[in-house]
Amino acid sequence: MNLKDCYNFEDFRKLAKKKLPAPIFHYIDGGADDEVTLKRNTDSFNDCDLVPNILTSVGKPDISTTVFGRKIDMPLFLSPTAMQSLYNPEGDKASARAAEKFNTFYSMSTMASFSIEEIANVSSGPKLFQLYIHKDKSITDDLIERCARANFDGMCITVDTLVAGNRERDHRTGFTTPPKFTLDSLLSFVMRPAWVFNYFTNKKFELANIKNKTEKGTNIAKSVMEYINEQYDPAMNWKDAEYCIKKWNKPMALKGVMSVEDAKRAIDIGCTAIMISNHGGRQLDGSRSPFDQLKAISDAVGDKLELILDGGIRRGTHVLKALAAGATACSFGKMFLFSLGAGGQAGVEKVLQNMYDEINRNMVLMGCKNLKELNKTKIIYRK
């Protein structure tokens, strides 16, 4: 199986599974507890149907939209995801370059493998930074100030990770950061010699954005979960978020909003957007899916905020359903990480091309010339 043979999510997943050691693969693939919410994130799209119109003389549809102050060429972008160099040595650089080619957002995690400055130097495309609020306020301030100097377009504060979710697959596979070769995991690493070679011959694993602020940036003894529990502020509140919004003073979203009440409050503290997200089903198992909540949030605040649907996206039709239900754009994580693990920058470009083509083709089939025509009349929920 080669990259050219990858047509959908499952194809990229299968190829990544062949190339990545089991602990690394399952860190992407897994969710919290029984993974009920992980599964629901995608299944929820099947509870409604698209309603096309015919003979509308679509021609070539316009699928561009504007988020975080930037016009992007497709209503889908890369979610912020941590430690991308574990999946490919080029990591965030590969993702940023691929996103720039499609004029869509690359999103950087606080826990990225490359620094804010390194990514700013390799990509002039749309860039979003995902901020985790730390107990040490100087770390938070430093990240915001560096993003401003590097001309990032927008920022989002992740608000659903006050403590790490219970990701049992990581316990079973022995996932650690940096990776450790234990008796349980050794065979899996030995069977992926290309990954092992790349890991030991490329840049040393580190959390590049925080390595100069805390020793945990280069030495995480057990896992990323330990870092979250030690470093993130579990007492984070609305005032903390408002402080960051004012300090940033550019387009800002809260990532992890799942209720109408929180969406309304996001407006009150100055957010320009929200990312409706449950962290890919990796935090609170048994919670609602983002798509389940989208309609209610859109009905309440859709005219006041940009709404980004984050979670469960596997197909272009999922993007269309989200947009018809009120989203401004969508973001996705697992699918592009599998493509990164499967083929580096070329893999990310392949998945973005696949999704771009699917969205375009399905807009024609829907009879919609632009995203404004893809409105709530184009979707019916099953009872």
Q: Which positions are catalytic?
A: 279
Q: In degrees rounded to 5, what are phi and psi of residue 179?
A: -60, 140
Task: State the residue for tokens 């100055």.
Answer: 270
CB contact set of 221 (below 8 Å; sequence gap of 6+): none
CB 349 within 8 A of CB 3: no
Residue type, 12: F
Ramachandran quadrant class, 166 (left: phi over 0; alpha: psi -120 to 50; beta: rest): beta
Cα(175)–Cα(362) distance, rounded to whole angstroms?
A: 39
Q: What span, in angstroms and rounded, lies between the C-alpha atoms of 102 and 132?
A: 27
Secondary structure of the chain in the HEC alphabet? CCHHHCCCHHHHHHHHHHHCCHHHHHHHHCCCCCCHHHHHHHHHHHHEEECCCCCCCCCCCECCEEECCEEECCCEEECCECCHHHCCCCHHHHHHHHHHHCCCCEEEECCCCCCHHHHHHHCCCCEEEEECCECCHHHHHHHHHHHHHCCCCEEEEECCCCCCCCCHHHHHHCCCCCCCCCCCCHHHHHCCHHHHHHHHHCCCCCCCCCCCCCHHHCCCCCCHHHHHHHHECCCCCHHHHHHHHHHHCCCEEEEEECCHHHHHHHHHCCCCEEEEECHHHCCCCCCCCHHHHHHHHHHHHCCCCEEEEECCCCCHHHHHHHHHCCCCEEEECHHHHHHHHHHHHHHHHHHHHHHHHHHHHHHHHHCCCEHHHCCHHHEEECC
